[in-house]
Structure 1
């Protein structure tokens, strides 16, 4: 892995180094469990002072990307998933980021649509819909609890397929063209059950997302209610200035 700093840049040297290390972790070049060279070795290789290297490493320790282990050294823990705020699948985003996504299907059943689900999908309350609950992993670590409702005639939600691919990929494979979505992002504390599923302490902060996705005919084809570990996940989006 090549590292380097621009001494002519106004950006502090420690921050340049921290950004390069963080980028390497996010792109999978530094996989979870990897050991960094010690501070003296890194400082010598880059021609930096030891305090500069220590400050860069400490900033990533504080972000939860690195951990110092006595007798072992500085070790990569994981990267935080930065997901673009657009109509995309978490599975596809994780796969594209080299995060080795995996899925555990908790429930895959038919149920009468409650009022909120019926309103989102545009069907009468009590209509039979598919409910799919999944736990999504990255690098064998739980990342998100996903709860989705779909009309019964949209896609065959086979459990075996759900365990090996993303829901939006299944929709595309079924000939559904996803066109737009209505989405709300929020935050709250984890319940005891949610914390246990996601490997977080009870009351830990969670990111929440509710989304209704529409196909190119304007029909609602999916209503999702998801929670994500705030320690491992963030939404990222671009803001444009309107003239």
Structure 2
């Protein structure tokens, strides 16, 4: 607990409410591996005693991190670091935004970046004429040092100033050029990882995976992004909120 206490002391001069300071300290402690994946946090009573704060403050801080998906509460067992990522299908957010919102650091290992012309399938999906120029971005996406998914994206060439415009977040690059998608059609299907996919994701051949196909549109209705992603099935939960008509 000394590491968490030291982090808390470094934040004592901030004007944030105490429960938010504790949330920040817990995020930093998780990021620095003070608590490991799937490791239980100390009991709320113990946290309160060690940090000289009230249990109400501890409970409010932990409740917020549970709501964010960073922690998971297991009745009778305690509060644990959540290694699974919950992706809301109702919100059009980037991988980088999702990871940062959970206190994780998004990273990429590039498999290939290239400029070319549309394939027949890409032309059909993106509603482009044969021979239209596109950029292709293939990479492994990481949360901290854990490979989470394979991403194979095709972007209409006019939506970005150059092939090198994408560094970490593709949506941030598209937003800078005024071409970030505002809506998308997504299709989710189950699969078993093949040998190549498993090797890249540090998984086992035959492990469960999730394939997500996304077609992103601009405000004027033009398609700008066609992306296929392969997610590790043991790392992701996809959630959609439904309502009656």
- TM-score for the superposition, normalised by structure 1: 0.69
Alignment partners' CA distance in 2, 1:108 and 1:43 = 48
CA drift at 1:233: 1.2
The equivalent of 1:101 in structure 2 is 106
The equivalent of 1:186 in structure 2 is 189
- The structure where helix makes up a greater share of residues is 2
1:193-238: CA deviation from partner (whole Å, max 9, x where unpaired): 0000001000111111101101011111110011111111121221
Alignment partners' CA distance in 1, 2:75 and 2:177 = 52
1:175 pairs with 2:175: no
Determine if contact 2:29/2:35 at 8 Å carries over to the other structure. Answer: no
- Alignment root-mean-square deviation, CA: 3.1
Trace 1:2-21 onto structure 2 (pairs within 5 A).
Answer: none
What secondary structure, in the 3-state scheme, does the structure 2 residue paired with 1:95 have? Answer: helix
User: Unpaired segments of 5 or more residues in structure 1?
Assistant: 2-22, 47-52, 66-75
The equivalent of 1:56 in structure 2 is 77
The equivalent of 1:147 in structure 2 is 152
The equivalent of 1:223 in structure 2 is 226
- TM-score for the superposition, normalised by structure 2: 0.68
1:96-115: CA deviation from partner (whole Å, max 9, x where unpaired): 11111111121110233222
- Alignment CA distance shift 1:237-1:112 (3 Å): same
How many correspondences in the alignment?
193
Determine if contact 2:198/2:205 at 8 Å carries over to the other structure. Answer: yes
Alignment partners' CA distance in 1, 2:198 and 2:120 = 27
The equivalent of 1:83 in structure 2 is 87
User: Unpaired segments of 5 or more residues in structure 2?
Assistant: 2-22, 48-73
Determine if contact 2:141/2:149 at 8 Å carries over to the other structure. Answer: yes
Determine if contact 2:215/2:227 at 8 Å carries over to the other structure. Answer: yes
What secondary structure, in the 3-state scheme, does the structure 1 residue paired with 2:129 have? Answer: coil
The equivalent of 2:61 in structure 1 is none
What secondary structure, in the 3-state scheme, does the structure 2 residue paired with 1:175 have? Answer: coil
Alignment partners' CA distance in 1, 2:216 and 2:163 = 20
- Alignment CA distance shift 1:131-1:55 (3 Å): same
1:233 pairs with 2:236: yes
Alignment partners' CA distance in 2, 1:146 and 1:157 = 19
Determine if contact 1:103/1:162 at 8 Å carries over to the other structure. Answer: no
What secondary structure, in the 3-state scheme, does the structure 2 residue paired with 1:178 have? Answer: coil
Alignment partners' CA distance in 2, 1:129 and 1:122 = 12
The equivalent of 2:206 in structure 1 is 203
